[in-house]
Amino acid sequence: MSTTQPLAPPAPGNEADAANANSTGRLICLDIFRGLAVAGMILVDNPGSDEKAYWPIAHAEWNGWTPADFIFPSFLFLVGVSMVFSFAKRRETGDSRRQILLHVFVRSLLLIAIGLFVNASPFIGVDFHALRFEGVTQRIALCYFAAAILALWSDRRGQIIAIVACLFGYWALLRFVPVPGLGVPGRDIPFMDPNRNLAAWLDRKLFMGHLFDGTRDPEGILSTIPAIATTLLGVLTGHWLRSRKAPATIAIAMLLAGILGLTAGEVWNIWFPINKNLWTSSFAVFTGGFALVFLAVLYWLLEIKRWRGAWTTPILVFGMNAIAGFVADSLVYGPGYSFTVKQPDGVSLSWHDAAQAKLVSLGASPPNASLIYSLGAVIFCWILLWFLWRKRIFLKV
């Protein structure tokens, strides 16, 4: 746990200030991006109604995408960006690569432990015989560790080769490797069938009875491969941000690279559909493109134009306490589905369903009721994190 001072928005500056921050200081645009991602995660994780939620805050069921699907890839992208700055600072203080990797290893284990703790939380009403082993923080830990090794022991060329290998290797595995007992995708079984694919088969083989969707898991073992590529895209971006290039050049290059990624992802979608549940290679490229475009805009506004002020504080409350945000999210999500409320007719409903029904009875349409519940979850979590912010407490692992 860290109790450092929060980042105070500095006074307006110029491009020289931004260039200095690139290589030596903290970029507020990264904290703002992370804060928006945490708020978006809570909003998406806690709809009043899974069926009635508005399209932008509901995940795509299978192939395709919605804005909600950009959130998790953005976290991994930011992990990659941040590790470049963190590792550079540690190297400057004299830490060796082995020391840094040991620190990364310990942090990864802690992230896995946090993920298992959240999955096993009594607030979720978990059946320990069916405890889910995989999860969001577990995937972050695996991607963080793998990307850290490459960030420490390879140059940018090696990192690019690793990205290409992850993306095309994963595509080849899903496209050409026979699924045991089922056959070759595209010949014996449909390509990317929800349950009859190599990723789902491997998760069932390893963790049957412990999967999010029963027969498959969106944070499965095999689909971590392209997620590592997402993290490495962030590593490359971190190198670019730390360069001594003119800030305007950095922003424009990120914007153009992001547009290229969005376009390439849509083109690859023709042969390898964009799919968050399988974290397809086209999904990794497409969402990486989005992250680059969004970061370029934030970098331009916050680091070059220096449009900062009181408006950043509510977002920084989330952005500088992301781990606490994950835990706070589980405190809303778990009880919402496991705690029950008895209705006047004697029927017991989950707290989540009862809140949705009450809002509808008060005149809200089902989609609006769902949105109100989601916004309430965001406000509740923000209040919890605000108390930590006031005490200058920032949870780190």
**263 and 162, same structural domain?**
yes
Element at 97 (helix H, strand E): helix 97-119
- Do the domain assignments include residue 147? yes
**For residue 330, pLDDT beyond 90:** no
Give the per-residue pLDDT at 185.
96
**182 and 158, same structural domain?**
yes
Q: Domain residues for 334?
A: 1-58+310-397
Give the per-residue pLDDT at 1.
37
Give the per-residue pLDDT at 193.
95
Per-residue pLDDT of 97-139, as tens digits, reads: 999 999 999 999 999 998 888 887 655 555 667 788 888 999 9
- Can you name the residues that pair with 342 across neighbouring β-strands? 348
d(CA 295, CA 308): 15
- Do the domain assignments include residue 68? no
**For residue 336, pLDDT beyond 60:** no
- Do the domain assignments include residue 244? yes
**For residue 13, pLDDT beyond 50:** no
Element at 7 (helix H, strand E): none
Per-residue pLDDT of 337-390, as tens digits, reads: 566 666 666 666 677 777 777 888 888 888 888 899 899 999 999 999 999 998
- Do the domain assignments include residue 190? yes
Per-residue pLDDT of 38-53, as tens digits, reads: 999 999 988 876 677 8
pLDDT confidence tier of residue 156, bands split at 50, 70 and 90: very high
pLDDT confidence tier of residue 272, bands split at 50, 70 and 90: very high
pLDDT confidence tier of residue 9, bands split at 50, 70 and 90: very low
3-class DSSP assignment, residue 183: strand
**113 and 10, same structural domain?**
no
**For residue 72, pLDDT beyond 50:** yes
**249 and 284, same structural domain?**
yes
**322 and 239, same structural domain?**
no
Helical ranges in 300-350 per DSSP H: 312-319, 322-338
What number of other Cβ atoms are within 10 A of residue 189's Cβ?
16
**183 and 294, same structural domain?**
yes
Give the per-residue pLDDT at 3.
39
Give the per-residue pLDDT at 119.
80
Which of 287, 307, 327 finishes a domain?
307
Query: Which residue, among 20, 52, 45, has the nearest Cα to 334 in the 3D structure?
Result: 45
Give the per-residue pLDDT at 67.
96
- State how many domains the chain has: 2
Element at 388 (helix H, strand E): helix 366-390
Q: Count the residues in the chain.
A: 397
Start-to-end Cα distance in the chain? 7
SS (H, E, C) 193-229: CCCCCHHHHHHHHHHCCCCCCCCCCCCCCCCHHHHHH
Query: Which residue, among 220, 293, 376, 320, has the nearest Cα to 67 in the 3D structure?
Result: 293
Give the per-residue pLDDT at 352.
72
Give the per-residue pLDDT at 52.
76
| DSSP per position, 253-313 | HHHHHHHHHHHHHHHHTTTS--BTTTT-HHHHHHHHHHHHHHHHHHHIIIIIS---STTHH
Angle at 219 between CA 395 and CA 148, to 5 degrees: 55
Give the per-residue pLDDT at 116.
87
- Do the domain assignments include residue 67? no
Per mean pLDDT, which of 20-24, 130-134, 257-261 is the most reliable? 257-261
**185 and 87, same structural domain?**
yes
How does the average pLDDT of the chain come out, rounded? 88
Which of 250, 278, 307 finishes a domain?
307
**For residue 18, pLDDT beyond 70:** no
- Do the domain assignments include residue 63? no
**For residue 20, pLDDT beyond 90:** no
d(CA 294, CA 21): 19
